[in-house]
Every structure is written in structure tokens, then in C-alpha cells.
Amino acid sequence: MNKWLFGFLVVLTTALMGSSFAVGKIGLAYVTPILLVALRFLLAGVVMAIAVKYLSLPHPREASDWIKVALIGFFQTAGVMGCIFVSLRTITAGQSSILTFMNPLLVVLFGTLFMKMTYRLQQWIGVILGFVGVFITLGAQVDFQIGTLLGFLSAVSWAIGTLLIKKWGTRINTWVLTAYQMLFGGLILFIGSFILENPSVQITTLSITILVWLALMASIVQFAVWFYLLQKGDPGKTSAFLFLAPFFGVLTGWLLLDEVINWYVILGGICIFTGIFMVNWTASPRVQADHDFVKSSV
């Protein structure tokens, strides 16, 4: 892929991902947390499912492929978002974000353990440096409570979803996968809302606008671009760019919520960009097995 196109798509998807924190925070004044994210992905999933059906895009024919889509939806959407929003009951949004964005480090770790990928020392250092940058950017504070475990589990779930997309995504059309994994994930979250909270919603012009933005731009566009990037590149290297998301989250928080940008945000941003450079501008990971799989995924 052309590096300029790749860069543009990375900025687009991480900016949308990061902005959803600030937009979602505004939405919490009108909708309970899990219900908000459930409605977000149900709406996005329904719209996408109708679109891919209308466009006659190839759908999975085998039951096993639908099960794979559902599993991706469970980990990538329901697992990640469910853990994040439930964790917010006992820890702050910043603490939850720090834990969630350990995902790239876990992708490299899981990829090494389960997909027999070997990364250079510089890439490991880059991933760790990027995580340190996220930690600094979000205030360098983590309290160990039940929410801490849930925040960590959101990163684990995201890492698993990332690798599943890499492994199975080439069998399924990107737009079809995006549509139905969001739909499956939204259904799971909707059920979880009635189990884990007392769901409520206030219907106003602003709440509807927020929901539409989260569903269309921060879900449909963001997920489709992200899945596309994962399929075209190495999951560990691509996931390193997730460190940009909390940085964009801080910027949109400043723009939309008048949140103060402190000196440590600038320092954290330098660490983030340095880490991304170290991971992405070194030699590609050496794959020790399953050469055909890697070749078909690049």
C-alpha cells in the first residue's frame, strides 16, 4: 500500500477512535453507558448489514464463517466496549484508557506466542515506549481496583480480536465482516445492559446527533478502515498506531470539553510518535512458520 495512503487512513481511523471518548462522554448525560454503546453498534450494524446486502457483497456461506464473525464481534466489540464501560464504575476514564491501549503490546506478545511471529528488539522497545507515552499522556495514574482488571481485560479482548481478524479476515469481505461483527457485538451489549445496569435514555436532538455520529463515523467508517489496515499489514505493527487514539482523545477533549492540555501530554506525545517510528520503520517481522498464510495476508 502507498505509504501516504496508509498514513492518511491511520490518522483517520485513530482520530475517529479517539474522538469517540469525548463525544461518548457528552452522550453519557443522556444514556446509560452500556446502553449507549449497545445502541451505537446496533445502529451501525443494521445500517451496514442493509448496505452490504443491497450492494450484493459476498456473504459467508458456511456456518463456521458466521461463527467466526460472531466471535470477532464478541471480542472486538462486546468484550472491549463492555469491559471499558463497566470498568468506568470504579476507575477513571483515563485509567481505563491506559489499560485498554496496552493492546498493541499484547498483540505483539500473543502474535509471538500463538502465531510464531518474531519481532526485532527495536520493535519491542518501540511498543513499550508507545505504552509509556500513553501512560504519561493520560496522567500517569493507575489505581488497582476491580476496574483495573476489567480495563486490562479490554486490552486482552482487543488483542484477541485483532489477531482473529488477521487470521480469518481474508476469508470474509471487509465490509461484511465490519457490519455483522458490530451487529453481533451490539446485540451482546444490549442484553448486557439489562443485566449490568438500569438502562435509561433521554431522546433529544443532541443525544440523537451523538448516537448518529458514534454509529456512522466512529463505528462504520472507523471499523472498516481499521479492519482494512489489519488485513493489509502486520497486526503488531499496525496496532502500534493505536497509541495515537488516546492522543487524539486528549485533543478532542480540549476542543469539545475545554479540558486542559498539560505539559506531560506533550511529553507523552513525543514518546508515542517515537514508539510508532521504532515499530513501523524497521525491518518487517520474520515469520518462522506458515509462510503461505503470511504471504496471503500482506
* pLDDT per residue as tens, the chain (298 positions): 677 888 888 889 988 987 887 788 788 889 988 999 999 999 999 999 999 999 999 998 888 899 999 999 999 899 998 888 777 677 666 667 777 777 777 777 787 777 777 777 877 888 788 778 777 766 665 556 677 788 888 889 988 988 888 888 778 887 888 899 999 999 999 998 998 889 999 999 999 999 999 998 988 888 778 878 877 777 667 767 777 777 787 788 778 877 666 777 678 777 877 777 776 664 444 443 333 332 222 2
Report if residue 41 sits inside a domain: yes
Task: Specify the pLDDT at position 40.
Answer: 92
Residue 126 resides in a domain: yes
Phi-psi region of 290 (alpha: psi -120 to 50; beta: other; left: phi over 0): left
DSSP letter for 259, please: -
Q: How many CA atoms lie within 13 A of 22 on its CB side?
A: 19
C-alpha cell read off for 253: 477533549
Span 143-177, pLDDT tens digits: 566 777 888 888 899 889 888 888 887 788 878 88
Where in the sequence is the domain holding 29, given as residue range(s)?
15-297
Judge whether 271 lies within some domain: yes
Residue 167 class from Cβ within 10 Å (0-12 exposed, 13-18 middle, 19+ buried)?
middle
Paired strand residues for 201: 31
Q: What is the C-alpha separation between 272 and 194, in angstroms, rounded?
A: 38
Of the candidates 6, 9, 14, the one whose C-alpha atom is nearest the C-alpha of residue 244 is: 14
**What does the pLDDT read at residue 295?**
29
pLDDT at 241: 77
Q: Is there a domain that residue 137 lies in?
A: yes
Q: Is residue 9 part of a domain?
A: no
At a CB cut-off of 8 Å and minimum separation 6, what does 229 contact? 6, 9, 10, 13, 238
pLDDT, residue 249, reads: 76
Instruction: With H, G, I as helix, E, B as strand and everything else as coil, classify residue 252.
Output: helix
Residue 6 lies in a domain: no
The answer to the question of residue 100 being in a domain is yes
Size of the chain in residues: 298
| Number of folded domains that form the chain | 1
Does residue 263 sit within a domain? yes
pLDDT at 148: 75
* Close Cβ partners of 292 (under 8 Å, ≥ 6 residues apart): none
Distance separating alpha carbons of residues 208 and 216, to the nearest angstrom: 12
CB environment 197-213: b (16+ within 10 A), e (fewer): eebeeeeeeebeebbeb
Question: What's the burial of 149, exposed, middle or buried (CB within 10 Å: 0-12/13-18/19+)?
Answer: middle
Q: How far apart are the first and last CA of the chain?
A: 9
Distance CA(16)–CA(222), nearest Å, equals 6
pTM metric for this prediction: 0.75
